[in-house]
Amino acid sequence: MSGYIGTTPVPQASQTRDVFTATAGQTTFATTGYTPSFLDVYVNGSHLKNGTDYTASNGSDVVMASGLAVGDYVEVVAFTTFSTSDTVSASSGGTFTGAVTVQGAFTSKGIDDNASSTAMTIDSSGNILVDKTSASVVNDGIQLEASGTIGATRDGDDVLILNRKSSDGNIAVFRKDNSTVGSISCSNSGSYIYFGSSAESVGLGYGGGFVFPTTGSTTGSDNSKDFGSPSYRWDDIYATNGSIQTSDINEKQDIAALTDAEQRVAVAAKGLLRKFRWKSAVAEKGEAARTHFGIIAQDLQAAFEAEGLDAGKYAMFISSTWWEHEVEVPAVEADEENGIEAADAYTRIDTYDTQEEAPQGATQKTRLGVRYSELLAFIIGAL
């Protein structure tokens, strides 16, 4: 509007211009349209005053206060108004409260997407969706949900790649209630990988062609971790060879022959060997359940007691006690949008090693066992 001396529209506007040549006594001029009060009228270059020299009220006609002379030059400049108040400042920023659609590329320091189709969406729930339009793990893409869940789906290729550079250590750390409960780590320049629980100081390491126990970090553990527990047992172990047990004299003490009482127990144990079938196998397989051979731990314990000996002092005899507590877990309804599958209600059994840590109402359980390699050596020693 620099140099303009006519009416200054507020807000500023674009303009249209109508030009007329008056006939004798002409007073009315039909324009292409205007907004009342947003126009300038000139006759032979002189700016006229609205309401005094002319009237413009119906949005179309400009009516002069008196008739013009033939050949008078009339110019009507009309301003098409627009508002600039509902904008976001380019320098100061602001907030868009309505939907914003960008037809071309939208680039900022946080987003740079020059794709021809939608590449990222933030939905009404606050979920960030990359290469997908709905928060469902059924569809390929990545979703960062407002609830804290991260979902990634890919067809026929790697879904997650974690790359630690330069040094050995944790690749992924897992936490529960802000406390670290486990990790995935690497060492030896990445040739060894570890899965462990630092909270329980136990884990597994993989490398060098073997699997070994760890302290829950990248440190191996020797002769201190168990495989399974009294309440969580493995079933079958398939191996080419049997287990190798350390029998080095340099690691033993109190080496002695069997006493007379121990020899009598060994002889009695030989006569206690029985055949049997596991109850769990019969429940599962019925008459197809197979027959096993061994000793009944309670019978072995009684044989020791008959000679005034405590079976618990001999490593061939095992007595394990723990506590169980039943927890009712409610059913879960399916939520396909959030990748949640339906699940029936069930009863979960939590186990505890000591009565002190077990909740009120927990049930004490005891299971007896035998180390057959030691039992058989014990029996052979009395032959």
Query: With 50 as the cut, is the pLDDT of residue 2 above it?
Result: no
Query: How confident is residue 155, by pLDDT bands cut at 50, 70 and 90?
Result: very high
Query: With 60 as the cut, is the pLDDT of residue 156 above it?
Result: yes
CA-to-CA separations, 280 to 285, 323, 341, 366, in angstroms, rounded = 9, 21, 31, 17
Question: Mean per-residue pLDDT for 76-81?
Answer: 85
Query: How confident is residue 324, by pLDDT bands cut at 50, 70 and 90?
Result: very high
Question: What is the bridge-based pairing of β-strands 363-370 and 317-329?
Answer: antiparallel
Cα dihedral sign, 206-211-214-216: positive
Nearest Cα residue to 16 out of 65, 60, 67: 60
Question: What is the bridge-based pairing of β-strands 39-43 and 46-47?
Answer: antiparallel
Query: With 60 as the cut, is the pLDDT of residue 54 above it?
Result: yes
In the chain, the N- to C-terminal Cα span, in Å, equals 119
Question: Mean per-residue pLDDT for 3-13?
Answer: 52
At 71, which amino acid appears?
Answer: G
Question: Tell me, what's the pLDDT at 1?
Answer: 41
Query: With 80 as the cut, is the pLDDT of residue 288 above it?
Result: yes
Question: Tell me, what's the pLDDT at 7?
Answer: 55
